[in-house]
Structure 1
Amino acid sequence: MNHRLVLEMMTAERAVRRWIDARSGDSGIGAAGAGVLFHLAGHDNALVGDVSAALCASPSGISGLVSRLEKGGFLAKTPDAADARAVRLSLTPLGREAVGVARTVVTELNAELSDGFTGAELAVVARWLGHITQRLS
């Protein structure tokens, strides 16, 4: 059997991003921005490099995204006390509000994605995706 797993996975990832982006309204956050906000919700005052590593993002990609989120009022940048070259990120009140909205969107998405699958089937999918991440990182 010739599985086209890579193509199917990439196509699915784009569909997920489009679905999230379509529900972000005019906030400008989108799927990638939601990832940053989710990370900061659990790791406030994080270094930009740590956020980049957590999201498997490139430094240039995260830089532009962080600038857009700062401009939108969702996060604040401050110099690191120990290393003035390093920058720390914190959620603003607007950013915390956006995390709540994004959680609602992701809850909807998870329900949509898991519809029609058993818990056992979803456990296999989760294990497979985790395997990919671990194997290729």
Structure 2
Amino acid sequence: MKRRLYFLLNRARTVLQRYADSGVTREIGVPVAQVSVLFAVEKHPGATLAELAKVIGLNNPGMTSLAQRMVEAGLLVKCPVPGDQRAWSLNMTDRGLQACAAAKPLLAKMNRQLEAGFTAEELDVVARFLEAVTQRFDTKE
């Protein structure tokens, strides 16, 4: 069997992104890309835009644009970073906290769907493979 790993990964990412985005947006009114930021802010409250960009894997301009849309949507609030007039930290608003909490069961269900039909050992190999891909090809670090 010829392994077309790049094609398969790219296709899987596209299908998963579309599936997750349509379901999450329909259920909670927030795109899945923004939910990813909410999860990152929940784990790293008060993180700067640059720190969140690194966590999520976006470039700084992309993170700035995404964060601005989320501020305008009332999901995040920007706070100045003491001692750095150019930097902003991000925290969730009440609406952001509610959206983050509402998204968790939706993505947990999707994870269960992804895991269905595979043994724990097989899933460990998949996880190890995906982590290796990230480590080998992430140029942002």
- TM-score, scaled to structure 1: 0.94
Aligned to 1:102: 103
Indicate conservation of the 8 Å contact 2:21/2:31, yes or no: yes
Cα deviation per residue 1:23-55 (whole Å; 9 max; x = unaligned)?
122755322111110000011111000000111
Cα deviation per residue 1:80-99 (whole Å; 9 max; x = unaligned)?
11201101100111101111
**Distance (Å, rounded) in 1 between the aligned partners of 2:73 and 2:132:** 36
Indicate conservation of the 8 Å contact 2:28/2:103, yes or no: no
Aligned to 2:17: 17
**What residue identity is the alignment partner of 2:91?**
S
Q: Please list every run of 5 or more consecutive structure 1 residues that lacks an aligned counterpart in the other structure.
A: none
Which sits farther off after the overlay, 100-109 or 24-33? 24-33
Mapped pair 1:6 → 2:11: no
Cα deviation per residue 1:55-91 (whole Å; 9 max; x = unaligned)?
1101221122111111111100111112011011001
Indicate conservation of the 8 Å contact 1:29/1:69, yes or no: no
**What residue identity is the alignment partner of 1:69?**
M
Which sits farther off after the overlay, 21-30 or 70-79? 21-30
The CA deviation at 1:2 is 2.1
**Distance (Å, rounded) in 1 between the aligned partners of 2:26 and 2:49:** 26
Change (3 A) 1:129 1:114: same
Indicate conservation of the 8 Å contact 2:28/2:102, yes or no: no
Which sits farther off after the overlay, 57-66 or 38-47? 57-66
Partner of 1:85, secondary structure, is: strand
Partner of 1:126, secondary structure, is: helix
Indicate conservation of the 8 Å contact 1:74/1:95, yes or no: yes
Aligned to 2:122: 121
Q: How does 1:68-87 map to 2 (within 5 A)?
A: 68-87=69-88
- TM-score, scaled to structure 2: 0.92
Partner of 1:84, secondary structure, is: strand
**What residue identity is the alignment partner of 1:120?**
E
The CA deviation at 1:16 is 1.2
Q: Please list every run of 5 or more consecutive structure 2 residues that lacks an aligned counterpart in the other structure.
A: none
The CA deviation at 1:103 is 0.8
**What residue identity is the alignment partner of 1:5?**
L
